[in-house]
Amino acid sequence: MRVLSGMRPTGRLHVGHLVGALDNWVRIQNEGNECFYFIADWHALTTNYDDVSKIYEYTIDIIRTFLACGIDPDKSVVFVQSAIKEHAELQLLFSMITPVGWLERVPTYKEIKQQLSYKDLSNLGFLAYPVLQAADILIYKPDGVPVGQDQVYHVELTREIARRFNYLYGQVFPEPKELLSHLPKLPGTDGRKMSKSYGNVILIDTTEDELREKILRMMTDPARKRRSDPGDPEKCPVWDYHKAFGTTDDEKEYIKNGCRTASIGCIDCKKVLLGHMIERLKPIWKRLDELKKNEEYVHRIINEGNEKARAFAIETIKEAREAMNLRF
């Protein structure tokens, strides 16, 4: 299978990205699929056009984190969207055949506009977000697109655009499927959705001390006000972390019983979790340190990835141009 996915460089990656997306990307890579993983910096501009100061820094930071978390540049093509101008050309071609009504109906269009109501999002680029995403995807003719639930509609629209193109100009694009990870979202340290704007994230690139402090201060089942109050793991965000970070079945039994009977305290429970998180993150921290000392290597990986992606994209854009009778 050929597979493609991307992330916008709007912040540094947190442990929710690790267990919700990156682990899945790495698994797909290691199962021997042909993978393209990229940074959607043009997409970041659709909402962040008014502050471009961090986009470069975040792009490098995220790619470094990809590599530290197991994305292997010998197996996967890692690249930056804006370096591959062919994405923009394909978006332009697709924009001819995409009714504006399709775009206004995209659920995330209205949702994000509401969420960011303090911001002027009447720009064309934001409305056209899914057309660019369709170009990102279809230019690599992938079989699958690993995404979270929030991106499914975008992949559906991508298929609609492919179908319309093929119908009008002849078969060029296959219709890719979304590859849903089905992993529940990891909550933030306050139990709400993990989000930079809530200040409740645990970054992948953190220290053991900082991690310990965040876990020990993390919200628990509010019923457990005192050590002697019983609680319910199902009402506790710490429990979601236990499920995501390799707590064993025996430990889970011990925690469930201990929590419900108040025979263990939340600190005991969190210490078990911390052991697992540190075990998981330590090798990543080590690789991050090495990569930070070797910026040149990261840049080389990006340049090589861009070359490979571009070579592929050029071939597809040739076909698309020919199909549309653009012969110069």
Q: Please identify, using beta-carbon distances, which residue of 5 and 189 lies nearer to ligand TRP.
A: 5
**From ligand TRP, ligand SF4, none, which one binds at residue 145 (CB under 5 to 8 Å depending on kind)?**
ligand TRP
Stretch that binds ligand TRP, among 114-122, 147-155, 253-261, 278-286 (CB under 6 A): 147-155
The single residue among 13, 68, 137, 139 that binds ligand TRP, judged by CB under 6 A, is: 137
Q: Which position has the token pair 């457990």? A: 224
Cα–Cα distance, 230 to 326 (Å, whole number): 70
CB 315, min distance to ligand TRP, A? 19
Tokens of 122: 């009447």
Q: What mask, x for binding ligand SF4 by CB under 6 A, covers residues 188 to 227?
A: --------------------------------xx--x---
The single residue among 19, 28, 40, 320 that binds ligand TRP, judged by CB under 6 A, is: 40
Q: What mask, x for binding ligand SF4 by CB under 6 A, covers residues 226 to 265?
A: -----x-x--x-xx---------------x---x----x-
Contact 192, 200 (CB under 8 A): yes
Instruction: Look at the chain and count its residues.
Output: 328
Q: What mask, x for binding ligand TRP by CB under 6 A, covers residues 149 to 188?
A: --x--x----------------------------------
In the chain, which residue ranges form alpha helices assigned H by DSSP?
Answer: 15-17, 23-30, 41-48, 55-68, 86-95, 100-104, 107-115, 124-127, 129-138, 152-169, 208-216, 237-244, 249-261, 266-292, 295-323
Beta strands in the chain (DSSP E): 2-7, 34-39, 76-80, 144-147, 177-180
Cα–Cα distance, 193 to 216 (Å, whole number): 19
CB 135, min distance to ligand TRP, A? 9
**Cβ burial, residue 149 (10 Å; 0-12/13-18/19+):** exposed
**From ligand TRP, ligand SF4, none, which one binds at residue 40 (CB under 5 to 8 Å depending on kind)?**
ligand TRP
**From ligand TRP, ligand SF4, none, which one binds at residue 221 (CB under 5 to 8 Å depending on kind)?**
ligand SF4
Stretch that binds ligand TRP, among 4-12, 91-99, 202-210, 297-305 (CB under 6 A): 4-12
DSSP 81: G
Question: How many residues contact ligand TRP, by CB under 6 A?
Answer: 14
CB 239, min distance to ligand SF4, A? 5
- Beta-carbon contacts of 224 under 8 Å, excluding residues fewer than 6 positions away, are 230, 231, 259, 262, 266
